[in-house]
Amino acid sequence: MSAQPQSTQPATLPLPVQSQFEPSVYQSFIRSLRNFWREETYQRSVKTASELGAVDPATMERRMRETIEYQLYAWLERHSQQFKYYHRHGVIPTVRARQTELQQSLDAARARSPERLRLDPGFKVPDYVREVDIHQHAQGTWSDPTDGVAYECATTGFSFSLLNADLPMTIYAETARRLLGAPARPGRLLDLGCTIGGATRALKRAFPGAEVFGCDVSAPALTLAHLRAMEQGLDITWIQAAAESLPFDDGSVDLIGSHWLFHEMTPAAIRESLREAWRTLRPGGAIMVQDMYLTPGGEVGRWLAAGYAARNNEPFAYSYANMDMPAELQAVGFTDVDMGISYPPAAADGSLPAARTHYVTMVTARKPGH
């Protein structure tokens, strides 16, 4: 009997949280709880904080800790995230319960088009990643083979502040179109800190003829990104590497982007990644950085952002917000620096919105040349 040819079409991998009744119902409850947090408790905390006058965020934090409305806001901000991850119907227990099945799908993905998944068995995850349980996910998204699936379950459909999780990726791709021009030659595009590849796939859909790469430090995230790209018929190459040390030749990339990366890096790592981007980009190439950076609301807005960074285990979000990104880019040699809030629309008077959200800042620049 002759061997049957192996199918090249990967099976889809359903998300455990969405495909099981009890976890799905539980996560719906958590979403409702977060709506209460981001609206009622947020509005009351902002009102009280605004009445304190023009005080710095550290002073505001000390005074607000004495108020019941802020105590509830802060408690919900931290603990609803823990409920989302670690309740018996939370993301982590639900994923772990199906670990064998998930691992089989991920192992099968590794075997398909292996040239497009370049993992480094000797890769050392940077200390700033290893030492932080980012998003309150114990040991981050790099230590367990199914961490990529857990991350996808936790971020698909709604983000920490219930921001539309897909819209920033649409803006990301549209920004790339603007920077590269239309029609753009195919070129080579690199997405830094790609995790499970949502923004990378958006780039590939926007530039189907381009050579697109996704780069991340997490092997589990890259493996799931590889599987999802094959499910969607997208030819993307995934590389395990840090943004500070890219395996690309000088002047070999047309556009480098990062989506939701820099707020999870130390200032030193960010500066090194900017130098690497400069080295890797061709003359005339562009860089775009999409992240939490600018925030409306003056001192109250900065206080809220600092509190979020502390309560969601994102210590570098605060240091990133205090960097002068235009100056950092110019110091490397970039020109034509542009920066602004791309989503959601900020009020003309700079006031805070009626509900808590993450403002998405887009910073773009260009390497001089032709």
Domain assignment present for 159 = no
Q: How many CB atoms lie within 10 A of CB 68?
A: 10
Residue whose C-alpha is closest to residue 175's, from 369, 368, 366, 370? 366
Instruction: Encode pLDDT of 300-316 as tens digits.
Output: 999 999 999 999 999 99
Domain assignment present for 138 = no
Domain assignment present for 188 = yes
Write down the pTM of the prediction. 0.93
Domain assignment present for 326 = yes
For tokens 């400069």, the residue is 278
Predicted pLDDT of residue 120: 97
Cis peptide before 5 (omega within 30 of 0): no
Instruction: Encode pLDDT of 8-59 as tens digits.
Output: 444 578 888 888 899 999 999 999 999 999 999 999 999 999 999 878 999 9
Number of H helices, E strands in the chain: 16, 8
Q: Are 10 and 227 in contact (CB under 8 A)?
A: yes
Domain assignment present for 299 = yes
Predicted pLDDT of residue 39: 95
Instruction: Encode pLDDT of 52-88 as tens digits.
Output: 987 899 999 999 999 999 999 999 999 999 999 999 9
Domain assignment present for 189 = yes
Count of structural domains, the chain: 1
CATH assignment at residue 178: 3.40.50.150
Domain assignment present for 340 = yes
In which domain, by residue range, is 299 found? 167-366
Domain assignment present for 194 = yes
User: What phi and psi values does residue 282 have, to the nearest 5 degrees?
Assistant: -75, 160
First to last CA, the chain: 60
How many Å apart are CA 166 and CA 171, to the nearest integer? 9
DSSP string, 271-305: HHHHHHHHHHEEEEEEEEEEES---SSHHHHHHHH
How many Å apart are CA 198 and CA 214, to the nearest integer? 10
